[in-house]
């Protein structure tokens, strides 16, 4: 009985130790630690993967932005913002004069509302040339803008000149001489006929011809038209005068007397057809009086003229050219009495 109790005690003690420190639990703890480590490593790897993915995304974004920038430098037909310092006026722009007061007013509007209509530009070697919108570009610079909206368009030199001319004509921004010179340049540079040019700019052939005729005037008169001292109507009236001196004299008269176009036409007509002096009808016996004039001239030694008013009246004119000569003539008349 005692032995059984002893064995039972040992067996019970063994169970107690196992229950206090079970082998399976120790193995489980070790495995758990390993699992934790694996999870931690996986998390680190996952974070690194996320970082790598984010880096790739950032690189892709940079590449995409670079692509967008490259696209913006090419003609797209769509408005885009461009550094104002990359843009320059068209060297063949027909418009040469800009009203400073009007530019200042436009600059104030742009400062408040921005440039509402994009500029039309074309790519040159190291800049973008303005095809249409130079006035807006100048006003934007006055307003202090760094960027302006533009549309980039590929076009030939002729197309660029035609578009610039058409825009200015539609806005009535050109003075008559700028317009005439632009027509002349297109015809001379590209061999266009008046009919072809008229169709391109939506003008009549007669309007093109009359405009270009102004360039036949003296350069001084062209400057008067450019300054606004003379209108196109005044200039066209002066074309009838072929003599340059007559043109200048008439132009100055127009300005001094503030003549209208109708009055200018009358002035030109007078210069072209000076009034003919009406000769007085010959009176009877005119030859006899001419003989008397000669006789008196020989006697007095000076010019004598008999001016007859009618058959019975008139006057005798005796010319003298110094006081001494007058005294000499008087002495002769005294002696003749």
**Catalytic site residue 195?**
no
Sketch the domain layout of the chain as residue ranges.
Answer: 39-72, 75-169, 286-336
Q: For the chain, what is the radius of gyration of the CA atoms?
A: 52
Write down the catalytic residue from 134, 162, 167, 178: 134
Q: What is the pLDDT of residue 251?
A: 93
Helix (H) or strand (E) holding 14: helix 2-20
Q: Helix count (H) and strand count (E) of the chain?
A: 14, 7
Using an 8 Å Cβ cutoff, are 319 and 303 in contact?
yes
282: DSSP letter: P
CB count, 10 Å around CB of 90?
Answer: 20
pLDDT digits over 142-200, tens only? Answer: 999 999 999 888 888 788 777 777 776 666 667 889 888 888 888 887 788 888 888 88
Fold of 75-169: 3.90.1530
Residue 260 pLDDT > 90? yes
Cβ(153)–Cβ(75) under 8 Å? yes
pLDDT band at 256 (very low <50, low <70, confident <90, very high): very high
Tell me if 221 sits within 8 A of 238, measured CB to CB. Answer: yes
Compute how many other C-beta atoms are within 10 angstroms of the C-beta atom of residue 19: 8
pLDDT for 32-89, tens place per residue?
555 556 556 555 556 555 445 454 444 444 334 333 333 344 555 678 899 999 998 8
**H/E element holding 84?**
none
Exposure on the CB side of residue 155, measured as CA atoms within 13 A: 20
């Amino acid at each position: 009985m005692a032995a059984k109790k002893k064995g039972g005690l040992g067996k019970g003690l063994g169970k107690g130790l196992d229950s206090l420190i079970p082998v399976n639990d120790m193995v489980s703890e070790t495995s758990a630690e390993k699992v934790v480590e694996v999870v931690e490593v996986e998390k680190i790897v996952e974070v690194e993967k996320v970082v790598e993915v984010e880096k790739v995304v950032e690189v892709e974004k940079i590449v995409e932005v670079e692509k967008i920038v490259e696209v913006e430098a090419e003609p797209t037909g769509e408005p885009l913002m461009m550094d104002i310092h990359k843009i320059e006026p068209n060297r063949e722009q027909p418009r040469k004069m800009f009203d400073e007061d009007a530019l200042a007013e436009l600059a104030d509007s742009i400062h408040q509302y921005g440039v509402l209509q994009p500029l039309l530009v074309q790519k040159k070697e190291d800049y973008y040339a303005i095809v249409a919108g130079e006035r807006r570009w100048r006003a934007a610079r006055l307003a202090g803008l760094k960027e302006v909206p533009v549309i980039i368009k590929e076009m030939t030199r002729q197309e660029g000149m035609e578009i610039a001319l058409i825009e200015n004509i539609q806005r009535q921004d050109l003075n008559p001489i700028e317009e005439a010179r632009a027509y002349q340049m297109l015809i001379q540079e590209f061999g266009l006929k008046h009919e072809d040019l008229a169709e391109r700019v939506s003008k009549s052939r007669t309007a093109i011809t009359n405009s270009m005729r102004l360039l036949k005037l003296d350069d001084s008169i062209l400057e008067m038209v450019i300054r606004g001292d003379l209108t196109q109507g005044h200039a066209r009236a002066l074309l009838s005068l072929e003599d340059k001196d007559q043109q200048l004299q008439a132009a100055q008269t127009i300005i001094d007397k503030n003549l209208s176009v109708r009055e200018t036409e009358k002035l030109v007509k007078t210069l072209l057809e000076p009034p003919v002096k009406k000769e007085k009808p010959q009176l009877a016996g005119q030859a006899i009086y001419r003989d008397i004039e000669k006789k008196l001239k020989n006697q007095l030694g000076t010019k004598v003229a008999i001016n007859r008013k009618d058959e019975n009246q008139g006057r005798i004119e005796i010319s003298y050219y110094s006081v001494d000569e007058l005294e000499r003539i008087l002495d002769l008349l005294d002696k003749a009495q």
